[in-house]
Every structure is written in structure tokens, then in C-alpha cells.
Structure 1
């Protein structure tokens, strides 16, 4: 009788662990944009992108060797390359470039579209057929984001807003492809192998884009580089993909909706950036639209 009770409790424990791991992953990711904002003030955006990927890749390679993980099958290489292009190269580079023109608080509003972008690519890549109401929320959320950008003076920095939109698309594709691949390859193994595949090119570019001197780089910039390299690029994904595997992709994936709130709080407290009532209102509205889209995704 006691054994049966323990078996019945295991799914509940696994589900709770999935939500906790997913929440830890989202909190870690929430610090990415503020840390990137600090780093690009002193590091070249391209160097920052390739350096963070290189550092994370060496750690990922060490973990794969330590746990003696099997190499991916041949049919898994193309999806891994897509993951690498989306979350190892695309999102970090595009956000680093965008944060030269906009504040991290402004960019975090765009992150509210990330769950929607992930769901949209899930439709394209996974063959899902959401209800028509899903697309209503999708269009409404996009209109809110574009409307906010225009109200803040889009003509003053069109580069930053366009780069952020492209970054969200790249990350959404990488998340969707990674979530799909994690079912067969494993959670943390997906990001680890994606980093390793990108390592030769990232290491070469790091050497090529390395500045002549690091003497003028401050401690906060170094700390930000370390954070986006170890936590944003690898450790966050370890918790995130583990949470998706334990609690379910559709359920735990909704935790991404909390990321703009955490990010805005960090931007306001650590960087002392101004977070307007309008910005908070748009973020809440976008999150509600994405929540509605998720509800009618199946």
C-alpha cells in the first residue's frame, strides 16, 4: 500500500520539480538583457557574442566529456545547427547590437513576444493546428508592441527595435527546435551540443575580434560578460530544458511570461533605468495576449 502511494506521488513531485527548474531558468534568463546592456558599453557587440559562446562552449564540452554523452545522430545535426544559429549566435548578437540603441528596459518589452514566437514556430515545425482565436491574440500582441515602439519615437531608433524583433524571431525558432529535439536527445545536452558545434567558428571569431587591450574594461563589464557566458548561455538552459522535460513543454513554457517582469525589475534596480507606467502597461497587455494565445494553442 505504501509502495503504491509513493508511485502515485512521483508524477506530482516531478511536476513540481519541473516548475521549480523552469522558474529558475526564467529568472536566470531575465538577467541577460540588463547584463548585455552593461557589457556592450565597453565591449564590442560582435566580440561579446562570440566570446560568450566560446566560454560557454568550453564548459559544455567539459560536461559532455565528463558524463560521457553519446554523440548526436546524423539526423539530429541539422536541428542542432538551427538551435545554434537561433540561441547561440542569433539572439545574443542581435540583442547586443540592439542594446547600442535602446535601453534594456525598452528591449524587455519585446521579450514579451518570445513565448508567442516560440508557439508560432512550434506550429510551423511541429505541425500543430491552433484555434483561430490563437491568431487573434497573436496579431493583437504584435500590434501592441509595434504601437508602443512608435509611441516612444520609432524614428529616433528604428535600428534597435528592428534588431530586437529579429532577435525574438531567432530565439523563438531556437527554443522551438530545441524543445522538439530535447525529447530525443535530452534537455541540457541540446544546448551543450549546439554550443560545441558552434565552437570552432566562435573561437576563431573571438581571436579575430579580440581588442588590443583590456586595460580600460571595468569590473561590472567583466562580471556581465561572465554572467551572459555561463548563466545565460548554458546554466540557464540546464534548468530550463530540465523543467520542460519534467513538467511538460506546454505547461512550463508559460513561465516565460514572467520574464519581462523580472527583467524590468532588474533594469530598474541594478541599472537605475526609468520604467514608465506605459511601459509596464504594455508589458502586462502583451503578456495577457500571449497567455490567451497559449490557451487556444491546441
Structure 2
């Protein structure tokens, strides 16, 4: 039998475990909003989720909460959500995020109805179950599942646990929507080189969407091609579709980067510089300096 002192300690411990973070008790909401404004978008949402109490709390916690201000998660994280890129946070943090973490973030910002661009950069710990919160989305336009940033090779070792069949089920729920807005999908490199029958079948269904037919071209090449599973005719940054091929009427053109295995238009490439381009430019600079050193007298 527990003594009275042990009972008190146990009750106190149980009550404390229901409290996620004491900041919402100690600081005014405006101050928390100001702190959150200095954080990257994904961190801002994680901060909002962490500092506010859970929806299900103990009777003890409920009594103690009556005198506390009501801190709104949405006011801390913000309401305007166009792009969510986990590459905006530290790589080590993104790599630790679980499916449950990602699901909470997507639910918190109402991603299925608000989010247009989702990049799961460095989220190498997820299986894809956390994307269920995005099922049936009528707002999403771009989903990047490569798990790497625009400057990095998508060939990962060890292979991440991203489940092909699980994710494709979620993507099917999106493209089957009559108001589907999806314009670009960037798939993991391992799916394109693996034996995934369901992946090949999904690409065929994706090609059949009216929004992706354009002038009749298939946006994905057939199985066996070196570019299999890479979406063509669409910029991976701005999602502009080139219906007349890779050259636009405005002089803008589309080119393929062999490093990150993405298509970029010339306008976006001014902002997105892949490692191959940077390395080439550095070698050219060294070559110019070497030639000048040989020609210009000392």
C-alpha cells in the first residue's frame, strides 16, 4: 500500500506528464508570437504544437488551467501557408522527425486545404504514414519526395524507409479528386530504380489526368529509360508547364540537372544553383586565373 507522501508524489508526477511545456503559462501570447516570427516555417509550427497543452488533459490539469490565458496555436504558427519546406530547418532535426511529427504539422496548418508546395527535404526517418493528413488535398500543387534539397544528389545510402505503396495510396487520393491542383511530383531516386510495379501503374494514372495531358505528351517516360519516373516539361521550382516543349514563348527554357535530377526553367535556375554548376564555375575561374598568370608579366 502506498503511503500518503508517495501518493502525493505520484499525483504530482502524473500531472506534470500532461504538461508539454510551461511557456504558455509563463509568457503572454503576443510574446510567443514574436518569438515564433524569428523561426523557419516548419520550426514555427513545431514550436506552436510543443508549447500549447494537449487537447486531452487530466482533471488536475484542467482545474489548474482555468486561470491561464488561452494561447492559440494558429496565432503562433500563422495562418498563411503556401509552402512548407523542411529544408528550412537543421538537417539533423528534419532527419529525426517521425511520421507522427509530420502528421501533426500538416494537420495543424490544414495542409489538405491550404498548402500548395510541400518539400520533405531531409525527412529521412519517415515511412510516409504521416502524409495521410494530406489525403484528398484540393490545394497541393507540388510534392517533393526526393528527401534532398535542390543542390544535392537524390541517391541516398542507406536507403530511407519511405514506403512506396503507402505513399502512392495517398497520392491516388489526391489525383482522384475532381478539383485536383497537382502540377509536379518529384519521386525518390530509389523508386525509379527499383522493382515497383505499383509505381509504374501510378505514373500511368498520373499521366491520364486532364491537367497533365497538355498537348498530348506523357510527362513521364516509359519504364527502362534513364529518366524514368522524372516528370518532364515542368519546372520543379515554379511548376510552369511547357506545352510547346522545353522552350517557352517568353524566351524561358527548361533544362535538366544531372546532379539533383530535376528540371529547372532558366528563370528559376538563376535562384537554384546545383552543385555541378557551382563546381564547373569554380574550375573555370581557376583556369582563367591560371591563364592570366601565364600571360600577364610580373
Q: Output the TM-score relative to the length of structure 2.
A: 0.21
Higher RCO (C-alpha under 8 Å, 6+ residues apart): 1
Higher fraction of helix: 1
Instruction: State which structure, 1 or 2, has the greater radius of gyration over its C-alpha atoms.
Output: 2
